[in-house]
Every structure is written in structure tokens, then in C-alpha cells.
């Protein structure tokens, strides 16, 4: 894991990108947006103590939204290998549970019209 610092208005994640990391917000606030025609729609905000990028981190699919810093932010980057190593030490059903929840959340998000 490594510390990441981004400035206000910097983009952390872009909709459609592939990634192998998620982030734990230590300081700051981010906004989550999605494209609709020629505009961006705000889906929500990410605050200190929350994770961001967790769905694509788990299911290895493309990012479902763009995440941009509203203020200067400090984050901890959690690489894909970290979760893979954790799953190796746990019962297989735990990995299946997490992947099932990620898949259901992604499908639910896709049904939301922005």
C-alpha cells in the first residue's frame, strides 16, 4: 500500500478505465460523476474514511464512474495483490460472497438512469 496525494479538481478515476487498485480516503472529499449525453451527473460524494474504486477493484471490470477531488486529498492506494493475498488465507466462500455483492452492486448501478 502506498500514499497518494491529489490536488483539488484532479481526477482520481475515469469512467471506463481499467484499474487494479482501490483507495482509502484519509483526508479530503471527492465527487463521483457519470456522463449523460454531453453533461456530467453527480452520483455522490466520497468522504474521509471511505473507500473508492472498490467495485472495479473486486470484479476487475471497467470503472463505472469518474471520481474527482473537491479539495486536496490524501489517500492510501490498495493494490489488487493485497485482496488476492487476503482471499488466499480465507475460506473460498468469503471470496465468492464478496464477488457476488460486487456483481449485484454493479448491476444495480447500471439500472439507475442518470
- Give the residue-averaged pLDDT of 8-22: 94
Grid cell listed for 46: 466520497
Q: For residues 93 and 95, what is the distance between their CA atoms, to the nearest angstrom?
A: 5
- Give the residue-averaged pLDDT of 82-103: 92
Q: For the chain, how many residues are written?
A: 114
Q: For residues 101 and 43, what is the distance between their CA atoms, to the nearest angstrom?
A: 20
Kindly indicate the confidence band of residue 88, based on its pLDDT and cuts at 50, 70 and 90: very high
pLDDT per position as a tens digit, 17-46: 998 899 999 999 999 998 888 888 898 999
- In the chain, domain spans: 2-111
Mean residue pLDDT of the chain comes to 92
pTM score of the predicted model: 0.84
The dotted CATH code for 2-111 is 2.60.120.10
Amino acid at each position: 500500500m502506498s500514499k497518494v496525494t491529489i490536488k483539488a479538481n484532479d481526477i482520481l478515476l475515469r469512467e471506463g478505465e481499467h484499474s487494479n487498485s482501490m483507495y482509502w480516503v484519509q483526508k479530503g472529499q471527492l465527487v463521483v460523476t457519470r456522463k449523460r449525453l454531453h453533461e456530467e451527473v453527480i452520483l455522490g460524494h466520497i468522504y474521509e474514511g471511505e473507500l473508492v474504486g472498490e467495485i472495479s477493484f473486486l470484479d476487475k471490470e471497467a470503472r463505472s464512474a469518474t471520481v474527482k477531488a473537491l479539495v486536496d486529498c490524501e489517500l492510501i492506494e490498495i493494490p489488487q495483490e493485497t485482496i488476492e493475498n487476503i482471499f488466499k488465507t480465507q475460506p473460498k466462500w468469503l471470496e465468492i460472497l464478496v464477488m457476488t455483492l460486487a456483481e449485484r452492486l454493479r448491476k444495480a448501478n447500471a439500472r439507475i438512469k442518470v
